[in-house]
Amino acid sequence: MNRYCLSLDLVDDPALIAAYDAHHAAVWPEVLDSIRNSGILAMEIYRTGNRLFMIMETAAGFSFDAKTEADAANAKVQDWETLMWTYQQQLPGSKPGEKWRLMVRIFSFSV
């Protein structure tokens, strides 16, 4: 199993942030199917202010490229992504069109 941590910002507007939270309380079934079918075993998104933090645990064969390709071919997932761009904004330094940015682990502790 692999773990990935990613970050993204929301538009800093309380009404948009509340709407984004509401959408994630009822994620569309097709989007959940896409997540499940890509090899993502668990996903959590946390928010502080307008900053988002996502943790994904994936099967050994998970591929970001394969997920991107499958999502591009799924009209409902594309509708969701278009809707989410209403609320999201890129992190500074992002490439054009880049949404969630993979984070680098700089510290780990376990007993």
pLDDT of residue 30: 96
Cα–Cα distance, 96 to 93 (Å, whole number): 9
Model pTM?
Answer: 0.91
Q: If we measure between CA atoms, which residue out of 7, 70, 12 comes closest to residue 37?
A: 70
110 by DSSP, 3-state: which? coil
Cα–Cα distance, 62 to 48 (Å, whole number): 28
> How many CA atoms lie less than 13 Å away from 79 in the CB half-sphere?
9
> Which residues in the chain land under pLDDT 50?
none
φ, ψ for residue 99, nearest 5 deg: -100, -100
pLDDT of residue 109: 96
pLDDT of residue 97: 84
Q: Which CATH architecture has domain 2-102?
A: 2-Layer Sandwich (3.30)
Show me where the domains of the chain are located.
2-102
DSSP class per residue in 50-89 = TEEEEEEEE-TT--HHHHHHHHHT-HHHHHHHHHHTTTEE
Tokens encoding 36: 């499940």
pLDDT of residue 40: 98
